[in-house]
Copies of this chain bind each other. A is one copy, B any other.
Amino acid sequence: MAASLKRPARQTEIRAFRREALIRGVLNSIADHGMAGTTVETIAEAAGVSRGLLGHYFKSKDHLLVESYRRLAENWAEEVGRQARAAGRDADLRLKAMAEALMTPPVFEKRILAAYLAFWNAARNSKPIRVVNRRYNSNYRKTIARLFARAAKEKGIEIDAEDAAIGLLAIFDGLWLSLAVDPKSYAPARAIKVCHTFIDRMLGAPGAGGAKPSTGN
């Protein structure tokens, strides 16, 4: 469980290396013990370092937590963005790719869901965490809205892209929330299908799970 990447020799790199180890320690500790059960000791253990090290690289445990959330959100956005762009130029495909990215490793992992839920909750009572959250959320929403707008244009229809973005983002969050609280809620594949249906439906298509005229019977 301890951090085991190659250890750098350069003085200047040690700092980054240690901070990285501690941050990964935080995320693993939250996954294993929850935010409430995450102490300096559990972090140090998960990071494979001594308790005292934290004080050398972060002003306090709280500062380390904030930094960890920042890192989490950053990696998340990077990876999801990468996969979205990899889906090609079409806006609707990008939206669908985002949904898939969200529900597939490496983004979709129990450890990460757990950490997100913990930080969402922490955001309520910690200004610095709230700041990080707001910043990434805002970017995220704007990106999705832009994609919806582009997709509508591509399809020659009119939609309220802002509302569509709010809706999709809510679905994303809601599915993650549900899976974070209880991993057995439903299979990730189903979650993807639900997202795709929403996207299709907002963009006018009947969609995989959408309505179609009842075939008599």
Contact = CB atoms under 8 A, between A and B. Distances in A.
A166 to B, nearest CB: 5
A216 to B, nearest CB: 9
Interface string A166-193: 1101111111011011100110001101
Interface of A is mostly: helix
Nearest to A161: B209
B217 A156 contact: yes
A204 B217 CA distance: 18
A38 to B, nearest CB: 10
A159 B211 contact: yes
B158 A209 contact: no
Nearest to A217: B156
Interface in A95-153: 114, 117-118, 120-125, 130, 133-134, 137, 152-153
A169 B175 CA distance: 8
Interface residues of A, number: 62
A181 B203 CA distance: 29
A53 to B, nearest CB: 16
Contacts of A35: 36, 121
16 contacts: A34-B122, A120-B180, A123-B181, A130-B182, A134-B182, A156-B217, A157-B213, A158-B212, A158-B213, A166-B191, A167-B197, A167-B209, A169-B174, A169-B178, A170-B177, A204-B211
